[in-house]
Amino acid sequence: MTNNIVSFFAGAGGLDLGFEQAGFNVTWANEYDKDIWDTYKKNHPHTYLEQRSITEINAKEVPECDGIIGGPPCQSWSEAGTQRGIEDKRGQLFFDFIRILQEKKPKFFLAENVSGMQHSRHAEALNNIKKMFKEAGYDLFYQMMNAVDYGAAQDRKRVIFIGFRSDLKIEYSFPKPIEKQDRLNLKDIILDLDGSAVPALDKQKPNPAKTILNHEYMIGGFSTMFMSRNRVRTWDEPSFTIQAGGRHAPIHPGAPKMEKVGNDKFKFIDGYEDKYRRLSVRECARIQGFPDDFEFIYKNVATGYKMIGNAVAVPFAKAIALSIKAHLSGKY
């Protein structure tokens, strides 16, 4: 059976790619950020990309589908963000996601969000969202998950909401995490790229000297916030969470771990300063599970980091997609 799905807040399409790898067909996607359009179109040539804001899209314009997937913007729920949650305009985009779901009535939906959403200050908003999914006609299942447990080489906690249309009477159970000894580390993912990265040019412009697609790293100083804790994971560890801001990209594992010199204050080890560079755009893409032929198109490397950091890790998306598929086909 072909499972046609549509994707909202698609970004560069990490979630879409994971679902495609699991055998779903993403026929239509929506992304409002013009910095991402070229990248999405280049890498998802068979998917129609709708470029207006979800707030302007009438559900009748969305094609019939078996599922709706997406990660409504998470900045407003983020621990590091303003934590205004549902009161933030971006938090309210969740309502538009539910509005379209309610009208289209596909078999299932998946919504991904940051772990900060589970903070006690958002309890009321979270309860409202759960109630709205139920009123839209869906049995809701949600869980905090870490991408490292599902084939991605990074610690990345996210809340996953999955709903099945109530008439299908599907009792969903989330996929089981992989064994600790089977987790991937940085050496499994980026060791072969070592020594080939190039720095971005002045003003973070792409460097044409690179021999590997997108294999350049952001230059410039490190903020006091960045230096407030160790930012180095070794080759034998999974990466820290890949964030959307290039300035906050983790440091390459070839550098020694940073030294604590005070309260919330770390420094680079003397004599190794040349080792402390940010992970490149391509290294971050690998850690997020994007294949090497997935081309990120940008005029400023910061945009590359943004697209990757906002994506859902591809192997994580695939693991969830396979479990949804198994439940839909009754083979779970």
The catalytic residues are: 74
Cβ neighbors of 190 (< 8 A, separation 6 or more) are 253, 279, 283, 286, 287
Read off the tokens for 187.
């050496």
Q: Is 71 within 8 Å of 15 (Cβ atoms)? A: yes
**Residue 114 CA: distances (Å) to CA of 31, 79, 91, 92, 131:** 19, 8, 12, 15, 19
Which candidate, 46, 144, 178, 160, places its Cα nearest to that of 108? Answer: 160
Tell me which amino acid residue 33 is. D
Cβ neighbors of 238 (< 8 A, separation 6 or more) are 148, 152, 153, 154, 155, 183, 184, 185, 186
* 278/232 Cα distance (integer angstroms): 10
Read off the tokens for 158.
């996210």
Q: Is 154 within 8 Å of 239 (Cβ atoms)? A: yes
- Render 157-214 in DSSP notation, one character per residue: EEEEEEEEEGGG-----PPPPPPGGG---HHHHHGGGTT--EE-BGGGB--TT-SSTT
DSSP 229: S
